[in-house]
Structures are given as C-alpha cells and as structure tokens.
Structure 1
Amino acid sequence: MSPSKVDPRAQRTRAAALAAAAELLGEGGPGAVTHAAVAERSGVGRATVYRHWPQQQHLLLDALADSTEPLLSVGEGAVRDQLVRQLAERLDWFNQSLSASVTAALIDQAERDPRTREMRQLLYGTAVEQLRAALRTGAKRGELRAGADDHAALLLTRIMGPLFFRRYLLGQALDEEFVVRSVDNALASWMPYA
C-alpha cells in the first residue's frame, strides 16, 4: 500500500499503541512492554497490536525508537562514577532474556532495514555524543587527561564491548563488579596519573 493510501484509523491505532508502549517502557522497563499491556493501556484491541507488531521484540524496538532515552545519559558528577551508576541501573535489563532477543533483532534488522539502522544510530550515536561532552567536562575538571573526548566512540566500545560479549555471547549474567572493571579498564589510559 502506498503511503498516500494508508488508512488513517490504522495510523491512529498504531500511534496510540506506540505511545502506550513508550510509557510502559519508561515506567516498568522492557519487561513491561507486552502486547496485552499495550492493548490495555492504549485502548487498542490486542489483535490490532499484534497486527502492527507480530513479534514482541519489534514492538519493543519501536517503543525504544519512540523513546528519547539514550543508551547512556551522563549528567553532573564524576564521569567514571556516572558511567558505573548508569550501567549498574541497566543491569536488570541486560540480564533479562528479552534483552538478548531485542539486541539480536536490532542487529539483524539494522543490516537490512534503513529505519532500524537510523534507530541504532540514534541509540548509540546519542550515547557517543553525551559521553564526548562528559569526557570534555571531566578533562576540564582534571578527572581525565585532555583529548579523551576525541576518542568517545572508542571508549564507549571499550566500555560496552565487554558487557555485550559476556552477556550475549557467553550467556553470563552481568553484575556491578563487572561493570566497574569495564569502565575502569576503558578509562585507565585517560586518567591523569596514567
């Protein structure tokens, strides 16, 4: 069906369901975004929700895309401590079996679907930009050596890479100790005393 012939009712039900999915994601995390919960919250029939998103991970991917929350959201305070805190707060999500499914779906779909590639770029690109700003601030405060911000994408890879590898390839649960090691290892060469 061409974009000009899209049923406005279908657009409205999809938008209502997606708004409900984004609310549920913000309130209860990924586990709260189910077809039944979205149908109940939005007032859209469950069959309609399934018609728009036959698989739960696709519903969750679209809810993630609709959400403005980046992978990392670094604000005030010591950069290292913020990174540890942000990632520790997401341990429950990483350790859920659904997170593996959503991550696999995102990786798979991004290879073939431009919209999913844009969503991936939004999620990770925003994280890199926020990390870059935090690293720059950390360097100004003397927490890190100057120039760390020029390597934000690499540092994000060095932080997230071990987490993704351990959780999704080795199938091992993550804990705060592992998060601390990943962050400290990534930042070690940029510490002022290194």
Structure 2
Amino acid sequence: MAARGLLASEGPGAVTHQRVSQEAGVGRATVYRHWPRSDQLLLDVMEGADLPLFKDPGTPVRPWLRRQLRQLADEVLPPAVAGLSLAMMQSALWDPELARRRDESNETIRTRVHAAIRSAVAGGELETDADPADLVSMLVGPIVYRTAMQREAVPDRLIERLLDSVGTWRS
C-alpha cells in the first residue's frame, strides 16, 4: 500500500491525500472517496503498522531515550501532523473507534517507555521514585504541547530537562 510505504519511509507527515494519490498512481478524488478526512487516512494506515517509536530500548538508556524523544519531536512538528494529532485527540472524545485506537497507541508507548526505564533502573543507570503512571506524561506530554499547541520546535535542552525530570541518571 502506498500510504504504508510513505509512513515507513518518511513518517506520518508524508501521509497526505496528495502524496498517497501520487504514490498509488490514482487521482486525489479516489483517495478522498475512501478517506474523506486526513485523520481517517492516517489512522487506517497506522492500523496494524508497528509504531516505531520507543521500540527495542538500547543501552545506555538515556542516549537511546534522547534519540527517541528527538524523533518524536521532529515527527510531530510539521503543521499537518500537529493539526492531525490535535484533531484525532478531539475526535477520540466522541468516536469510540478513534478512542480505542488512541488507547492502543498510548498503551504501546507506555509499555515501551516503562520497559526502558526499568532497564535503566536495573542497570544502575537511573535512580527514580517517579510514579510509573506519570513517566510518559513527563517525557512525551511536553513535546506534544510544544509542537502541537505552541507550534514551536523542541530544543535539545528541553529534551535534556525532560530526561532529568524522571530521576538521577548515572553514567
């Protein structure tokens, strides 16, 4: 599928009606007929696709987590992706199917971040008393706010502050 190829090679910002129609060699109207809204298109493309972020934590954990947060910040920044993210969050308030998909994505991210933090703690790299339920909010929430709400790039210094917020890191 053209849209999945775009998602895999260029990230969610590339999955637009125009790009999908170009890659698939069909008219844009055909793509709109199947997916009238951008959020529907991206959600269908992401359905069944493995979320690449926060997958397979590496050691040491801090630099790996820094790279994952940087990638997230860069992927959410383009206006199309930021707008789509906000629209999907809003739509999930009323649409049970979108809520289910949102919850699945959130659970995947939560599970992966928790596994990375557990690995850092077990390896003596991190000492933390942060509530595991708060970890994803502490790390990911400010990135989504900065990119989607404030429409600004996430500086590396903010990512460092977010990492520092979860506990004491040892090298």
TM-score bracket, normalised by the shorter chain, equals 0.7 to 0.9
* Aligned residues of 1:131 and 1:152 also touching (Cα < 8 A): no
Query: In 2, Cα distance between the equivalents of 1:43 and 1:115?
Result: 29
Using the TM superposition, name which of 28-37 and 38-47 deviates more: 38-47
1:158 corresponding residue in structure 2: 138
* Aligned residues of 2:69 and 2:140 also touching (Cα < 8 A): no
SS at match of 1:90: helix
Query: In 1, Cα distance between the equivalents of 2:52 and 2:104?
Result: 8
Shift of 1:24: 0.6
Shift of 1:146: 7.1
Say which of 133, 137, 156 aligns to 1:176.
156
Q: Does 1:47 align with 2:29?
A: yes
Query: In 1, Cα distance between the equivalents of 2:13 and 2:126?
Result: 37
1:145 corresponding residue in structure 2: 127
Shift of 1:44: 4.5
Offset from partner CA, 1:89-118 (integer Å, 9 cap, x none): 233222211122111111111111122112
Change (3 A) 1:182 1:43: same
Q: Normalising by structure 2, what TM-score?
A: 0.85
Q: How many residues align?
A: 170
Query: In 1, Cα distance between the equivalents of 2:94 and 2:54?
Result: 25
Query: In 2, Cα distance between the equivalents of 1:81 and 1:74?
Result: 13
Shift of 1:73: 2.2
Query: In 1, Cα distance between the equivalents of 2:33 and 2:43?
Result: 15
Alignment of 1:11-90 (within 5 A): 19-90=1-72
Query: In 2, Cα distance between the equivalents of 1:138 and 1:69?
Result: 22
Higher RCO by CA contacts (8 Å cutoff, separation 6 or greater):
2
The structure in which a higher percent of residues are helix is: 1
Query: In 1, Cα distance between the equivalents of 2:67 and 2:38?
Result: 28
Query: In 2, Cα distance between the equivalents of 1:175 and 1:79?
Result: 20
* Aligned residues of 1:22 and 1:66 also touching (Cα < 8 A): no
2:111 corresponding residue in structure 1: 129
Query: In 2, Cα distance between the equivalents of 1:139 and 1:64?
Result: 32
Shift of 1:147: 6.6
Q: Normalising by structure 1, what TM-score?
A: 0.76
Shift of 1:154: 0.8
Query: In 2, Cα distance between the equivalents of 1:49 and 1:192?
Result: 48
Query: In 2, Cα distance between the equivalents of 1:70 and 1:132?
Result: 16
Change (3 A) 1:192 1:99: closer
